[in-house]
Each structure stands twice: as structure tokens, then as C-alpha cells.
Amino acid sequence: MSEKLKKFTQPVGITLDRFIEKDRRRFPNATGELSQILRDIALAAKILNRDINHSGLIGIEGVVGTENIQGEAQKMLDVIADVRFSRALRIGGEICCIVSEERDEMIDTGNHNAKYVMSIDPIDGSSNVNVNISTGTVFSIFRRITPVGTPPLEEDTLQIGRKQVAAGYILYGSSTMLVYTTGNGVQGFTYEPSLGEFYLSHSQMEIPEDGQIYSVNDGNFYDFDPGIQTYLDFCRQQRYTARYVGSMIADFHRNLLQGGIYLYPATQDKPEGKLRLLYECIPLAFIAEQAGGMASNGTQNILDVQPSSRHQRSPMIVGSKKMVETALGFVMTVDG
């Protein structure tokens, strides 16, 4: 075969479906439910990716005139994303209930024989769509606590992060990526729109142990606790690079690849923090830990925090392990 022909017949890569199936074969007792959930997530992500790419042409950039349970004005894309994922997961049949940042009540999918529970932030950073900046989806999967065959209950949705069986995010940016873990490392897949497939592009992702990027809303500096202020001064003295997109998934993804730290600490007017424990902090903490990083609320590992309500908020410090440990050292020394 000629070199020119070889160039045009190179393998495209490993699709998400093939990777999931190959991974499932490693576990003889696996029955395929979790694999189906990941496929359902990928399907919804493809549809939402299309919606986002067309947003400026089809007029879904505005607000709908309602508020979510957090009192935030809902964007049209918030509602659309919530519908896309909840529908795909309900029809897929392997999720018994869903808790979403966009809804007050738990969604009983009617699939009472299903073994799994989903928590999801359908679209993180939806306001950035108006200015063509990256957004994301983040999710967690747990095994239900209540007996299979019965209606799901509140206790199914309020599980400690250590009990996650999978977590991941979709980043809608210059390319669309699905990144997830099932507790055996972190895998990244990039969407190839002309083929309609996610392909393995980042195998066994690892966050650098240390880094020189810090991501924080510096406008809140004077509302942070003294320990956080002192740490941020340290970052400036070290000539670290400040990078803050305002879409948490985009900031987290960059730091995962390049090494860095993301901070959304408590403030004077939000002493409990702003990020949602179930929908944002817990899944990203699991991914970070699986990639060799670390996540804390300032006093406790995020994965060890017991949720008390579905829309509970939490401070968040996540990223390269050494950077998080250094930040916590300032917090404990100055604040403690």
C-alpha cells in the first residue's frame, strides 16, 4: 500500500460504544445497566451539542421568565438541557430517579426496576452561551438504596460522594468532550460531529501533581475569609497565572489537563458557599481524585461530606493535589 493511501486509511479511533463494551467485558458479573446509562448520556449530549451550536440562529439564548429552586433566572437553555437529559435517561430505562439543579422535586422516572440514581446539573454556565463561551454538563451516578421494584425515595438521592459508581462531565467548547470515571481512572472522549460519534482522545487522564494556574472570581476577594485571601496573595507572589472562565467545567477541565486549582470559597453573604454539593462538587471531586487530584470544602474532603438536602451548597477547592494541600494549609493556619 502506498504512503498516500495509508494516510487516508488510518484507523479513526475507538468509539465510546466500543470502549464501554470492551471495559464491561473486564467484569464478568456486569449486566450492562451502567453501560446503557453512559450511552444515554452521550446521546443527550449530542443533541444538546447541536442545540448549543445553533443557539444564535434558533433563538434559545434568552430567559424563560421563571426561576429555578435556587432563585436564579432560568435560561431557555437550562430548561432545554434539563428536558434532553431527563428524557434520554427515562427512556433508557436504567435510572429510577433523577435529581436536577433545575428542579425542586425529584424526578421519578417510573423505572422502578432500575438500580441507579442520577444527580445532574444539565447546563453549567448557560449565561456564557450568549457570548459564545464554553459551557458544560456534570453528573453523578449512584446505586439506589431502596429495594429494586419499589418507588425511589429521598434517601436514594442523598448519598455520600464515596458511594458514587460513576461521575462525569460534558464540555461544549471548541470541541465537545465527554469525560467520565467509573472508579478505574478517568477517560476523555471527543465528539466527531461528521460521524456522530465520541472517540477516545484522552486515555487515563491524570492531573499534574502541582501547577501554576489558579481559577477564582477575584471580584469576591474582599468577601473571602482571611485564609483564602492570604493564599491568593501567595499565588500572585509566586507569579502564578490567573485563569477564570466563569464556566466551572471549562475551568476544571483546563486545570485537569495543565495542572491548577479552582476555588469557589464561602463569602460573607454566602457562608455556606454557592456551588451545589450534589450537582457540582461531588462529581468533580470524584473525577479529580480518580485523576490524582484532590477536592475539599476547606475543612473536609468533599467525598466525605454527607448531603442533608438535595440543593445543599458547599465551598469548593479542587485541583492539583499539592496546590489544594497548600491552599488548605493557609486556610487552617490563618482561619483556624
Residue type at 215 in one-letter notation = S
- Give the number of other Cβ atoms within 10 Å of residue 57's Cβ: 7
Does the annotation place 156 within a ligand binding site? no
**DSSP readout, 291-304?**
TT-EEESSSSBGGG
For the four alpha carbons of 305, 253, 80 and 112, in that order, the dihedral sign comes to: negative
Does the annotation place 126 within a ligand binding site? yes
Does the annotation place 280 within a ligand binding site? yes
Does the annotation place 217 within a ligand binding site? yes
Does the annotation place 123 within a ligand binding site? yes
> Which residues have C-beta within 8 Å of that of residue 322, sequence separation ≥ 6?
209, 210
Does the annotation place 262 within a ligand binding site? yes
Residue carrying the nine cell digits 465551598: 315
Does the annotation place 274 within a ligand binding site? yes
Measured distance CA(261)–CA(244) in Å, rounded: 11
Nearest to 79 by CA among 57, 106, 51, 58: 51
Does the annotation place 125 within a ligand binding site? yes
Does the annotation place 124 within a ligand binding site? yes
Does the annotation place 240 within a ligand binding site? no
Residue 182 grid cell: 467509573
Does the annotation place 264 within a ligand binding site? yes
Residue 244 grid cell: 477564570
What is the 8-class DSSP label of residue 25? T
Does the annotation place 121 within a ligand binding site? yes
Q: Are 155 and 308 in contact (CB under 8 A)?
A: no
Residues belonging to the binding site for Mg(2+) are 101, 121, 123-124, 280
Residues belonging to the binding site are 101, 121, 123-127, 217, 244, 262-264, 274, 280
Residues belonging to the binding site for substrate are 124-127, 217, 244, 262-264, 274
